A and B are shown apart, each in its own frame.
Chain A
């Protein structure tokens, strides 16, 4: 117990002393207070039905959930990796502290940090409660309790990933990927298989309880995903809490098990290469692999940008065999989307399905892009590769274009996965062909903006983790922030203000083109978003070029 306290005493002040902590707390407090204030009744008429108060509560609950999901997992993963890389973990393991002391010390410190983060939202919640129609036990305590459980689960997940990943950057990528899988992907099978009697349908139904989203929706009284109009009879909150406790316990045990000296041992590949293996093995591998990852590569061709090839080769999943796997994965996803479009079109209508697809794709772009392009310049600075590049006769233009090409090709592959889904939409409703083309342009612009924001941010930092985090923050501010204004479109924001804010969001343009409810009313929004996104791309490209040129030139 003493050991645990010692770790808490070291960890918690260190977390609270970080500059980012102050910023996060301040932004969360201000945003949440603003969210409630914006919805505060301005007329003297009392809303006896409580509809408005419930709507505010729902908005607040979703915002709190998004904050928790975005903020909480990053700290445990990167903190543990940094500790391993700075060898302070070895000192801890060499001390009389038990592994469980180290683990629980970190867990409790991070949980205290998450509690403080939730505590910052209390004034907003108090205002919301003052509006009425909210139960203090079921709604308020229930929400904080549920978010507490989510925090613990995400902290354990982050610590576990921290024992696996080798760099802070890959740790961030993995932890956000795992969080996305746990919260979003876990509910997708149920959306397709709902109502069926098969074993698959049953497994999918159980699988969705791993995600906190259905539990949250049930708590705030919203329709759960996949529940097409029917009232959900299953207690999703209890099921989620049970699954989260089990997962956290299992994760904790694995994590404690992994907290040993092997964390400091990095396996060294012996450089096995197919070209030097037996003829039979070479033949077998030729059959097994389309692109053998262990085959010696031929040199970079003269027509290729060497920086682009280097980016693909040095990226964790950038090699050709991984890209092929990604294309295959995207093809599967595309088939699922096609199925969803076909089924959904019948139930919900083309526009709603189109809207869901657009939001899902933008979500995917926003999750992927900072992870890839956030390391563009900052990663080179961090590794010392930048000075080596500067010592070559390459020009800045060639370096930047090579790096941007490597990101844009990856994003293009991801976007292409959605094309069959839109194809189905066009078959069902041929009149939408132009709109679909407009949506694709908007998505491409979203990808371009996301890529250039991350790349430009990357040129201002010397640490990849910092650049990636700031990129995520800016993109969320740009895309989720403008949607927050859209949510408050009736009051206090006027139609004109909302339209002006949405003009910076190419996703809103795509939703407008698809004539999704709530976006149809903004005339000319699509064109404006294209112009604004185009200008943003131009400006960002200019800033990136100037910044890179300055970094490239002699000091």
Chain B
């Protein structure tokens, strides 16, 4: 069996209820080694609950979660060694230097003293934090603390890293550095689960996204798949060699495609963009028609979906469903009375 494609994270029907409130409802997904999963959803969607179950801090009401074959509830101790967890709250200790802070967590993970010192140097190197090893943790800026947080999660060389809002509150420069660190870790073969509210940032690093709303998984897959699955229409782009033909091509598209198709010509870019629900066959016919009509086309492509757009579409759907359900139950009450 090829370990490179074997699932590292397997979540099956994971449910968590707090009394009547369902925080997580039948969450199921698998994640392969070396993937970066972007876990997104509005506040209260159930992201943190799912993460806490994965690291063994919360017990699920139903369902299972396994990391590298270890059950997150029954083998919680083993899972702790397999997972590096960075909560959204940093959790610093006063009067401790960075190296001492990492030394404590290394010792807590049972790493021998000599090996621990080497490991601390390594993780500081990976996170570009060697220069701050003698600084006091509480005196570091938020961005620096986030880097130390990641260094801490790497100490015991875990297979899976779970990072809750690692880019939260970071300035643009620190965000770029954080992105580079995360990509480097994924390139090393680690599996990453990252939650964030900064969606463009997440779109740049994740090869998978999972969108949660009201505790339910609304979408899961690559950004393009999710975007296509969720949005009825996709955005296409035609790049022309002749700028003066932009208006004519736009007119041709309006007449050939459905009425609600949005066509946006841009003479400055020599590009015509359009949003359409047409299938592959229809689009292929359109392209042939334009080429045989003498249009000189340099590119005809689909524009990758925007994560923000997808996120808004999902959350809107969720809130509409909620309103619909509320209306239904109100009408049931009315009928009954």
Contacts and interface: CB of A to CB of B under 8 A. Distances in A.
Interface in A257-285: 266-273, 276
A555 B57 contact: yes
Contacts of B81: 393
A309 B94 contact: no
Contacts of B208: none
B77 to A, nearest CB: 6
A286 interface: no
A387 B335 CA distance: 49
A431 interface: no
Interface stretch (B103-111, B184-192, B282-290): B103-111
Interface stretch (A310-318, A478-486, A520-528): A310-318
Interface stretch (B128-136, B217-225, B295-303): B128-136
Most B-side CB within 10 Å, residue of A318, A388, A553, A555 = A388
A229 interface: no
Contacts of A269: 135-136, 139
Interface in B171-227: none
B57 A390 contact: yes
B99 A296 contact: yes
Contact of B56 (A273, A301, A391, A394): A391
B34 to A, nearest CB: 22
A336 interface: no
A255 B116 CA distance: 47
B139 to A, nearest CB: 4
Interface in B109-145: 109-110, 112-114, 116-117, 132-136, 139-140
Contact of B87 (A272, A314, A319, A384): A384
A297 interface: yes
B106 A272 contact: no
A299 interface: yes
A75 B56 CA distance: 40
A309 B104 contact: yes
B187 to A, nearest CB: 25
Interface residue SS majority, chain A: loop
A299 B134 contact: no
A394 B80 CA distance: 10
Contacts of A296: 99, 134
B136 A384 contact: no
A306 B93 CA distance: 14
Contacts of B83: 391
B132 to A, nearest CB: 7
Contact of B110 (A266, A273, A393): A393
A388 B87 contact: yes
Interface residues of A, number: 42
B80 A306 contact: no
Contacts, number: 117
A554 B107 contact: no
A269 B139 CA distance: 6
A189 B56 CA distance: 57
A314 B93 contact: yes
Contacts of A276: 134
A463 to B, nearest CB: 15
A388 B132 contact: no
A300 B107 contact: yes
Contacts of A388: 85, 87, 91, 105, 152
Contact of A316 (B53, B77, B94): B94
Contact of B95 (A268, A314, A394): A314
B109 A555 contact: no
B314 interface: no
B96 interface: yes
A271 B135 contact: yes
B73 interface: yes
A391 B113 contact: no
Interface in A10-67: none
Nearest to A402: B108
A392 B113 contact: no
A162 to B, nearest CB: 18
Contacts of A306: 104, 107-108
A554 B113 contact: no
Contacts of B135: 269-271
- Chain B, interface size category, equals 35 or more
A387 B103 contact: no
B26 interface: no
B275 interface: no
Given A269-B139, A271-B136, A391 B103 contact: no
A306 B155 CA distance: 15
A162 B92 CA distance: 22
Interface string A218-236: 0000000000000000000
B136 A313 contact: no
Contact of B96 (A267, A314, A387): A314
Contacts of A272: 134
A128 B95 CA distance: 51
A393 B103 contact: no
Contacts of B59: 553-555
B107 A393 contact: no
B81 to A, nearest CB: 6
A382 to B, nearest CB: 10
B52 interface: yes
B254 interface: no
B261 interface: no
Contacts of B140: 268
Nearest to B106: A299
A383 interface: yes
B76 interface: yes
A319 B81 CA distance: 30
A297 B99 CA distance: 9
Given A300-B103, A554-B56, A393 B109 contact: yes
Given A271-B135, A299-B107, A315 B112 contact: no
Most A-side CB within 10 Å, residue of B85, B91, B105, B133 = B91
A302 B113 contact: yes
A383 B92 contact: yes
A271 B97 contact: yes
Contact of B93 (A267, A310, A393): A310
A316 B116 contact: no
B6 interface: no
Interface in B41-89: 52-53, 55-59, 73, 76-77, 80-81, 83, 85, 87, 89
Closest 10 CB pairs of A and B: A384-B89, A271-B135, A384-B91, A306-B107, A271-B134, A314-B93, A554-B59, A268-B139, A392-B108, A299-B113
9 contacts: A270-B135, A271-B97, A301-B113, A384-B87, A385-B93, A387-B57, A387-B89, A393-B109, A554-B53
Interface of B: 52-53, 55-59, 73, 76-77, 80-81, 83, 85, 87, 89-100, 103-110, 112-114, 116-117, 132-136, 139-140, 152
Given A298-B113, A313-B100, 7 more contacts: A269-B136, A313-B96, A386-B91, A391-B80, A392-B105, A392-B108, A555-B52
Interface of A: 167, 266-273, 276, 296-302, 306-307, 309-310, 313-316, 318-319, 383-394, 553-555
